[in-house]
Amino acid sequence: MPLLELSKSLHDCQRCKLAKLGRSQVVFGVGNPHASVMFVGEAPGFHEDQQGEPFVGAAGKLLNDLLQSAGLSRSDIYIANVIKCRPPNNRDPEPDEVETCKPFLMQQIAMIHPKLVCTLGNWATQTLLERKVGITKVRGQVFYLKDFVLFPLLHPAAALHQGNMLEPLREDFKKLRAFLDRHSQPPPSEATTPAAPVFNIEPSQPAQMDLFGS
């Protein structure tokens, strides 16, 4: 099924209680459907719920700035959230909501087929790593998973709430830039229009370091 079909099929999703808890619309995701780099956040907030697009509020403005610092723009990437509907008062997602919505995130990832998935914050990182590990422990590290490489970053909203997180967040994006620079592929010489950057990143490398010691 193409991405657009999946998006349409979720348009009036009633699979979990969030459908009845004041969401205005399902926020599916946005960006380049052929992106090599995908970002995954937690859940839509007020502005995202109003506009139907992830990361358009204050955290989104900061994210745009951070993307630029990593040499990326929104047109290069795809952005989605773990859960597609705004939880009331921006509360944390509940386990049943994550369980219901995660298959759609996994389908998005399978359809876009990014080389690198950057998770923003604890929720997205734990959901995709399938481990209860704190973001402060794993941020800025590279995980070679079966189908893609995972790069966890602090969540921009954390820096909006705690000013002392801004510098660590900027460091995470510097590390991301260094990683992308190490893996960037020159555009094909016959290309006439600039395309989204392509990276030479392969999942599940044999010499993977086990960062969890298990």
Contact residues toward ligand URA (CB under 6 A) are 41-45, 48, 54-55, 59, 81, 157
> Please, which residue, 158 or 196, has the CB nearer to ligand URA?
158
> Please, which residue, 89 or 192, has the CB nearer to ligand URA?
89
> Smallest distance from the beta carbon of 87 to ligand URA, in angstroms?
11
> Smallest distance from the beta carbon of 124 to ligand URA, in angstroms?
7
> Smallest distance from the beta carbon of 205 to ligand URA, in angstroms?
29
Nearest partner of 40 among 94, 121, 146, judged by Cα: 121
Residue nearest to ligand URA (CB): 41
Q: How far apart are CA 37 and CA 113, in angstroms?
A: 9
> Smallest distance from the beta carbon of 59 to ligand URA, in angstroms?
4
> Smallest distance from the beta carbon of 23 to ligand URA, in angstroms?
13
> Please, which residue, 16 or 59, has the CB nearer to ligand URA?
59
Spatial contact of 146 and 182, defined as CB atoms under 8 Å apart: no
> Please, which residue, 40 or 176, has the CB nearer to ligand URA?
40
Spatial contact of 86 and 44, defined as CB atoms under 8 Å apart: yes
Beta strands in the chain (DSSP E): 30-31, 37-41, 78-81, 116-120, 143-144, 149-153, 184-185, 198-199
Nearest partner of 197 among 109, 72, 108, judged by Cα: 72
Burial (CB count <10 Å: 0-12, 13-18, 19+), residue 168: middle
Residues 213, 156, 69: CA angle, nearest 5 degrees: 95
> Please, which residue, 43 or 98, has the CB nearer to ligand URA?
43
